[in-house]
Amino acid sequence: MSSLFSKSISLGRELKITDQEFSNLRDFIYAQCGIYIADNRKYLLENRLGNRLKKLHLKNFDEYYNFLRFDVARPSEMKKLFEVITTNETSFYRNPPQLQVFQDKVLVEVLQQCRKKDKKIRIWSAGCSTGEEPYTISMIIHEMLKSEIANWDIKITANDLSERVLESARKGVYNDYTLRSTPKPIAERYFHMDDGTNTINSEVKKLVSFGQINLKDRMQVKRVERSQIVFCRNVIIYFDDAMKKQVISSYYDNLLPGGYLIIGHSESLHNITRAFKPIHFPGAIIYKKEE
């Protein structure tokens, strides 16, 4: 996930953040949402928050810190803060080897189990960004079940911290670049394509429910319906060890017995938890909650 932000300029000069201002804002952000910004990334806050100071006519980062803590406009600004500090680069069918394992191993097993019971599937996409991941999951399920899908009760809960990216996700409109990893037959089947603008089909949208969530908020997380599969790819890399343990513990509690956790291919649960059984496949490691 990555974004570009313009230089922070106010009153004709570049704003600089002091060590104390950085410490105050870093600790405040961590307390609010669990995202940890290391000391060597001080420039990140300086660059990304500079435009907010300019917009609010504030002279320095200390004024912004106090604005966040005490001003009546704080709830609105908190949304802006979350949008600025989170970064969102993703695509459809991202990391194909991992998705192949999801389709051929994990989903096949879950479908077989659910066919014997109530044909009810719940999947949680935590950190869904602009929607490419949950819509990809929906397309894969459509490919697996085809016309049989009408007889199933399927819900993909897609959450993110940023309201802005959720608004974009709900619209379901994407450029060609986000489809760069999508097999052409899939793209043609599930998108309406018009001169570089690609709109996701309503049948794909139907399975996905978007909503804002703060993974640091235990009560919010507990309200997510229990799932057979949790996707949390490229999210825990933004947390420190304590927050990683909290979030992974929440996923464990959410998963039904025998459920699966899928994290980013460059992420690991090493030194975080031993509660899951790691299952190794070519190009992917999937974590299973024992039954």
Kindly state whether residues 44 and 116 are assigned to the same domain: no
Residue 281 located in a structural domain:
yes
CA dist 96 and 74 (Å) reads 41
For tokens 């979350």, the residue is 82
Residue 1 located in a structural domain:
no
Kindly state whether residues 64 and 142 are assigned to the same domain: no
CATH number of the CATH domain containing 37: 1.10.155.10
Kindly state whether residues 274 and 223 are assigned to the same domain: yes
Residue 3 located in a structural domain:
no
Which of 85, 105, 124 lies at the terminal end of a domain, its last residue?
85
Please give the residue range of the domain that contains residue 120.
96-289
Q: Are 239 and 267 in contact (CB under 8 A)?
A: no
> For the segment 104-136, what is each residue's pLDDT rounded down to a tens digit?
999 999 999 999 999 999 999 999 999 999 999
Kindly state whether residues 76 and 129 are assigned to the same domain: no
Give me the number of domains the chain comprises: 2
Contacts of 81 (CB under 8 A, 6+ apart): 29, 32, 49, 52, 68
Kindly state whether residues 39 and 136 are assigned to the same domain: no
Kindly state whether residues 43 and 172 are assigned to the same domain: no
CA dist 232 and 253 (Å) reads 14
Kindly state whether residues 60 and 149 are assigned to the same domain: no
Residue 3 reports pLDDT greater than 70: no
Residue 235 reports pLDDT greater than 50: yes
Three-state DSSP at 89 gives coil
Kindly state whether residues 16 and 80 are assigned to the same domain: yes
- pTM, full prediction: 0.83
Kindly state whether residues 142 and 233 are assigned to the same domain: yes
CA dist 222 and 217 (Å) reads 9
Kindly state whether residues 199 and 127 are assigned to the same domain: yes
DSSP secondary structure letter of residue 177: G
End-to-end Cα distance, the chain: 33
Kindly state whether residues 248 and 117 are assigned to the same domain: yes
Confidence of residue 80 (pLDDT cuts 50, 70, 90): confident
Kindly state whether residues 113 and 74 are assigned to the same domain: no
Residue 161 reports pLDDT greater than 70: yes
CATH number of the CATH domain containing 194: 3.40.50.150
What is the secondary structure of 48-80 as a DSSP string? HHHHHHHHHT-SSHHHHHHHHHH-TTHHHHHHH
> For the segment 188-223, what is each residue's pLDDT rounded down to a tens digit?
999 999 988 999 999 999 999 999 999 999 999 999
**How much is the pLDDT for 141?**
98
**How much is the pLDDT for 138?**
98
